Chains A and B, each alone.
Chain A
């Protein structure tokens, strides 16, 4: 039987009360949202905490998708199923629905959350790649109601490590809309339904007239954290999208990523996938931006 090592269970009643608990308990405490990454790690003793603070009751406070003219704000407790089923999100950033369809399975998606996925900081995690692709920022709240905003690049410190301190909570993700027609897409190669990615890629393209104003590609499972590729953005800006441009972006992705050979595939195969999935998602993103 796999069960976690003993811990004290606490239940948070508000964000600020949870931060108060974290302040008091320090590094011996951890927040648990859906728990579908943390509890398996605790069962395997890869993670051990004296206190678990259950924040599921904060869904009323932190479960939302809000659209304004210049950005989309998503609460950290928004569950995978809610991201998948949101028409608002599917309309503006279909990359979310693309990714959610291939994250775990429908029953797991009933529990797992956006904030939990990001804070897990698994190098293969799909929503991290989506948020990196979309140039999202993370709102981190700390003691005394203080809030700070960090980019996805600043958010990830290393595998399974984030910029969120022991007495802080990730509360919201903000995605800029840049006031331009945008298309986005996500593609993943996995060994079987619901598995972690062998490699996955996301792309977002903002068009201005017939030309690319900005383009971003994010990759998962090919480095210590999900990575954005600024070199691709620089190569694409100002050009009219076509196949030769996607080919160039794919080549940059293949040479810029840092995959390792493991049970999911060889490094060479993963580079091939980074190339191919970059092309596919860029192609799809441009199609969507035009429609």
Chain B
């Protein structure tokens, strides 16, 4: 069957099997291997991407279901060489070690900050409760998200001050 979807702002049309999962479409058909493929049972969250602005587990969404929708993957976070603040937060605060869970963590945490720019530790823990990290013990991920929240608030304030002058 034919499926057409927008991924990171680019429209793609491909011939696929109805049973193909979104995660495999992104990785194997489009070559976007930033999205990882983990447990296959919607438990681990390494495959999280956005569909129409909301994080979803792409191992449990058919590629066909994403037809006509907008998908965003981890490849779209950085603007050229400039990292998204959430990526910079993970770099500054050691939010990753092996990096396997990182793409999913980044997409979920970016969505969290867009909705709630100043999340508490509890809110961050709740947001990533469907994702597993076996390296960090989560504490450094929480610090990374807080780093990004504080950094974004500071940048926004500075921009307002510049605009006011």
A4 to B17 Cα, complex, angstroms:
11
The count of chain B contact residues (Cβ–Cβ below 8 Å) is: 29
Q: Which of B19, B42, B45, B126 contacts A36 (CB 8 A)?
A: B42
Q: What are some 17 contacts across the A-B interface (CB < 8 A)?
A: A3-B20, A6-B19, A7-B18, A9-B62, A11-B67, A35-B61, A35-B65, A36-B57, A40-B60, A43-B41, A105-B129, A107-B45, A107-B131, A110-B54, A110-B56, A193-B129, A194-B43
Extra A-B contacts (6), CB below 8 Å, given A6-B19, A11-B67, A105-B45: A3-B21, A5-B19, A56-B65, A106-B55, A107-B108, A110-B54
CB distance A40 to B41 under 8 Å? Answer: yes
What are the interface flags for A91-107 relative to B under an 8 Å C-beta threshold, 1 for contact and 0 otherwise? 00000000000001111
Also in contact, A9 and B60, with CB within 8 A (given A1-B40, A106-B130, A194-B130) = no
Q: Which of B18, B40, B48 contacts A107 (CB 8 A)?
A: B48
Smallest CB gap from A43: residue in B: B40
Q: Which of A1, A3, A9, A104 contacts B64 (CB 8 A)?
A: A9
B56: chain A residues at CB < 8 Å are 107, 110-111
Show the binding face of B for A, using Cβ within 8 Å: 1, 17-21, 24, 40-43, 45, 48, 54-57, 60-62, 64-65, 67, 108, 126-127, 129-131
Also in contact, A108 and B19, with CB within 8 A (given A9-B64, A35-B62, A40-B60) = no
CB distance A106 to B60 under 8 Å? Answer: no
Smallest CB gap from A34: residue in B: B60
A36: chain B residues at CB < 8 Å are 42, 57, 60
Chain A proximity of B2: nearest CB distance (Å) = 11
Q: Which of B18, B40, B41, B48 contacts A8 (CB 8 A)?
A: B18
Enumerate A1-51 residues with CB–CB distance to B below 8 Å: 1-9, 11, 32, 35-36, 39-40, 43
Also in contact, A104 and B130, with CB within 8 A (given A6-B17, A6-B18) = yes
B21: chain A residues at CB < 8 Å are 3, 39
Also in contact, A106 and B40, with CB within 8 A (given A4-B19, A35-B61) = no
CB distance B40 to A108 under 8 Å? Answer: no
A104: chain B residues at CB < 8 Å are 42, 130
Chain B CB within 8 A of A54 CB: yes
Chain A proximity of B74: nearest CB distance (Å) = 15
Chain A proximity of B50: nearest CB distance (Å) = 10
A243 to B83 Cα, complex, angstroms:
58
Chain B proximity of A78: nearest CB distance (Å) = 15
Chain B proximity of A183: nearest CB distance (Å) = 25
A4 to B65 Cα, complex, angstroms:
14
A10 to B87 Cα, complex, angstroms:
38
CB distance A7 to B64 under 8 Å? Answer: no
CB distance A9 to B55 under 8 Å? Answer: no
CB distance A106 to B127 under 8 Å? Answer: yes
Chain A proximity of B101: nearest CB distance (Å) = 13
Chain A proximity of B71: nearest CB distance (Å) = 14
Chain B CB within 8 A of A52 CB: yes
Chain B proximity of A62: nearest CB distance (Å) = 16
B54: chain A residues at CB < 8 Å are 110
Also in contact, A105 and B130, with CB within 8 A (given A7-B18, A7-B19, A110-B55) = yes
Q: Which of B57, B64, B126 contacts A108 (CB 8 A)?
A: B57
CB distance B129 to A194 under 8 Å? Answer: yes
Chain B proximity of A266: nearest CB distance (Å) = 25
